[in-house]
């Protein structure tokens, strides 16, 4: 099965609307991670609105696929996806990072339905995804497990412990996606602590590796479809992305890793995103 033209058009529109939500959310609270939320928006759009099975009315549904946001600082992007998926009202998005909100600065699974596991301390999500995949396999479930990692996050040693474990246990119900936007807080990943060659590393660890344009929803849908057909090993989809994607002001700008748009920046960004609307 492949995504149809209509599907792809709808997914593009969904991603555009999510980007608007993300920017408004971040602008509203004045802190949070803009760049990495926007770079991974298309990836998560393909997951939540093309590939994954879930039931927002029954978040613990046994038949669901699991999503682990290992790069937990992209929480605004996850919240936008969950709201669009129907886990909660979109109005709640404006409570991001506020006292009493379920939308914590980094995802908190105790309080927000749809969040599988609390994340935020980098490097830990893939291990958790492995555990879920092992549990589902023990139950002979058809569920699939997806983990989204940052490229800077690959500097954490635990990622590679988990990469070994997933291959050792032949977790073919697991798919990791790397948001390879090339930037981290202190600068370009290549400069801070080079993680390349990323694809060779995952291959050497025993994974099936795909290398795609992380902003092509067609490529993402296709890769996610192909990942399901791989047997006997886990799949890593390295998604080549642009930090801050969708708004020229933020694209490729390291300073927008952990800062939020000003009034003027928001206005410009929303204008650009409005022009990209598929009407």
Partner 1 sequence: MTQKIATRDAYGDALVNLGKKRSDVVVLDADLSGSTKTSKFAKAFPDRFFNIGIAEQDMMGTAAGLAVGGKLPFASTFAVFATGRAWEQVRQSICYPNLNVKIVASHAGVTVGEDGGSHQSVEDIAVMRVIPNMTVIVPADGIETMQAIEAAAEMKGPCYVRVGRNKVPVIFGPDYRFAIGKAHVFHEGKDAAIIACGLMTAEALAARELLAAEGINAGVINMASIKPLDRDAVVAAARQCGAVVTAEEHSIIGGLGGAVAEALAEEAPVPMVRVGMKDVFGTSGTGEGLLKHYGLSAADIAAAVKEVIKKKKSA
Q: Which residues bind partner 1 (CB under 8 A)?
A: 66, 68, 108-110, 116-121, 124-136, 138-139, 157-158, 161-162, 164-165, 168-169
In the complex, the smallest distance separating the C-beta of residue 53 from partner 1, rounded to whole angstroms, is 15
CA 48 to chain centre: 10
Kindly tell me which of 129 and 212 has the beta carbon lying closer to partner 1.
129
In the complex, the smallest distance separating the C-beta of residue 64 from partner 1, rounded to whole angstroms, is 11
Kindly tell me which of 30 and 63 has the beta carbon lying closer to partner 1.
63
CA 150 to chain centre: 9
DSSP lists the bridge partners of residue 148 as: 69, 177
Kindly tell me which of 118 and 184 has the beta carbon lying closer to partner 1.
118
Rounded to whole angstroms, the Cα distance separating 223 from 201 reads 19
Kindly tell me which of 33 and 66 has the beta carbon lying closer to partner 1.
66
In the complex, the smallest distance separating the C-beta of residue 137 from partner 1, rounded to whole angstroms, is 9
Please check whether residue 154 is in contact with residue 194, taking contact to mean a CB–CB distance below 8 angstroms. Answer: no
In the complex, the smallest distance separating the C-beta of residue 263 from partner 1, rounded to whole angstroms, is 35
Kindly tell me which of 121 and 142 has the beta carbon lying closer to partner 1.
121
In the complex, the smallest distance separating the C-beta of residue 240 from partner 1, rounded to whole angstroms, is 27
CA angle 67, 72, 75 (to 5 degrees): 85
In the complex, the smallest distance separating the C-beta of residue 121 from partner 1, rounded to whole angstroms, is 4
Kindly tell me which of 98 and 168 has the beta carbon lying closer to partner 1.
168
For 241, the token pair is: 């992305």
């Amino acid at each position: 099965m492949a995504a149809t033209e209509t599907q792809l058009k709808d997914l593009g529109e969904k991603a555009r609307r999510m980007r608007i939500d993300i920017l408004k959310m971040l602008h509203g609270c004045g802190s949070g991670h803009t760049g990495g939320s926007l770079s991974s928006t298309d990836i998560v759009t393909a997951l939540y609105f093309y590939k994954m099975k879930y039931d927002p009315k029954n978040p613990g549904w046994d038949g669901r696929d699991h999503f682990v946001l290992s790069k937990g600082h992209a929480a605004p992007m996850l919240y936008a996806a969950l709201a669009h998926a129907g886990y909660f009202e979109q109005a709640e998005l404006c409570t991001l990072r506020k006292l009493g909100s379920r939308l914590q600065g980094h995802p908190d699974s105790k309080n927000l339905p749809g969040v599988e596991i609390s994340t935020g301390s980098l490097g830990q999500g893939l291990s958790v995804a492995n555990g879920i995949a092992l549990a589902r396999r023990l139950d002979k479930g058809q569920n699939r497990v997806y983990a989204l990692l940052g490229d800077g996050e690959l500097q954490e040693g635990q990622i590679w412990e988990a990469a070994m474990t997933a291959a050792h246990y032949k977790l073919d119900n697991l798919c990791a996606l790397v948001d390879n936007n090339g930037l981290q807080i202190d600068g370009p990943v290549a400069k801070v602590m080079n993680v390349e060659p990323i694809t060779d590393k995952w291959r050497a660890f025993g994974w099936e590796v795909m290398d795609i344009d992380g902003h092509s929803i067609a490529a993402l849908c296709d890769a996610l479809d192909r990942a399901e057909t791989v047997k006997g090993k886990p799949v890593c989809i390295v998604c080549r992305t642009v930090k801050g994607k969708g708004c020229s002001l933020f694209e490729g700008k390291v300073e927008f890793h952990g800062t939020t748009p000003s009034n003027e920046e928001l206005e410009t960004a929303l204008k650009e995103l409005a022009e990209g609307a598929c009407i």
